[in-house]
Amino acid sequence: MRFTKDHEWVDLVGDIATIGITAYAAEQLGDVVFVELPEAGRALKAGDAMAVVESVKAASDVYAPISGEVTAVNGELGDNPQTVNDQPEQSGWFVQVKVADAHDVDALMDRAAYESFLATL
């Protein structure tokens, strides 16, 4: 699993990357009440606003950590947005993306690097 400074995680299996927000991000947001996801098939460029995650008092854009095409979105979050709080790095995933270039994922932080990054905040 790889991580970004915007507190997203990316888990690459084959050429499909599963993307979500980290436990740290979920904790900072507080109770998540709604997640707006992109439609399947949308082409994402790294850095695009691909989703919005809302708590009661805040709405945050979630940026695509890598480029690729959305192959699946986590429909479960529509009915149970609290999954993002409960299991942010497992069943609280947001989207799956067919990556354009797997090397993009390698360029992200590993867990140790992400944890050192968190320690600086």
Partner 1 sequence: MRYQPLMPADRAQMLAVIGVDHVDDLFVDVPPVARLAGPVDLPAHASELAVERALGRMAGRNRVAGSGPFFCGAGAYRHHVPASVDHLIQRSEFLTSYTPYQPEIAQGTLQVLFEFQTQVAALLGLPVANASMYDGSTACAEAVLMAARVTRRRKTVLSGGLHPHYGATTHTLAHSAGIEVHRLAAAVDAEAAVIAAIDADTACVVVQTPNVFGSVTDVTAIAEAAHAAGALLVVVTTEAVSLGLLKSPGEMGADIAVAEGQSIGNGLNFGGPYVGLFACTEKLLRQAPGRLCGETVDAEGRRGFVLTLSTREQHIRRDKATSNICTNSGLCALAFSIHMSLLGGAGLATLARLNHARARRTRDALAAIPGVEILTPRFFNEFAVRLPRPAAEVVEALARWDVLAGVPFSRLDPAAGLDDLLLVCATETTTAEDIEALTEALSAEIAA
Partner 2 sequence: MSPVNVGRPTRPLDSVDASVPAPRARGLQQEEPLIFDRGGWGKSGVDFETGGEDLSAPDLAGLERAGPVELPGLSEPEALRHYVRLSQKNHAIDLALYPLGSCTMKHNPRLGEKMARLPGFIDIHPLQPQSTVQGALEVMDTLAHWLKTLTGLPAVALSPKAGAQGELCGLLAIRGAHEARGDARSTVLVPTSAHGTNPASAAQAGYQLREIAQTADGRVDLTDLAARLGPDVAAVMVTNPNTCGLFERDVVEIARLTHEAGAYFYCDGANFNAIVGRVRPADLGVDAMHINLHKTFSTPHGGGGPGAGPVVLSAALAPYAPTPWLVHDEAGLRLEEHSRGEAAASQGRICAFHGQMGMYVRALSYMFSHGSDGLRQVAEDAVLNANYIKARLSGVMSAAFPDGPCMHEALFDDAWLEGTEVTTLDFAKAMIDEGFHPMTMYFPLVVHGAMLIEPTETESRRELDRFCDALLRLAAAVRAGDVERFRQAPVHAPLRRLDETLAARRPRLRWTAPAA
CB closer to partner 2 out of 15 and 54: 54
Asked if 113 is part of the footprint of partner 1 (rule: CB under 8 A), the reply reads no
Total residues in contact with partner 2, by rule CB under 8 A: 9
Which residues inside 28-67 make contact with partner 1, applying CB under 8 A? 33-34, 36, 54-59
Q: Which of residues 35-94 bind partner 2 (CB under 8 A)?
A: 54-57, 81-82
**CB closer to partner 1 out of 55 and 83:** 55
Between 59 and 107, CB nearer to partner 2: 59
- Residues within window 66-105 making contact with partner 1, judged by CB under 8 A: none
Give the position of tokens 């695009």: 48
Long-range contacts of 75-81 (CB under 8 A, 24+ apart): 77/35, 77/37, 78/35, 81/32, 81/33, 81/34, 81/35
In degrees and rounded to multiples of 5, residue 30 shows phi and psi of: 80, -160
> Residue 79 is encoded by which pair of tokens?
């009915």
We find the least distance from the C-beta atom of residue 54 to partner 1, in angstroms, to be 4
Q: How many CB atoms lie within 10 A of CB 67?
A: 16
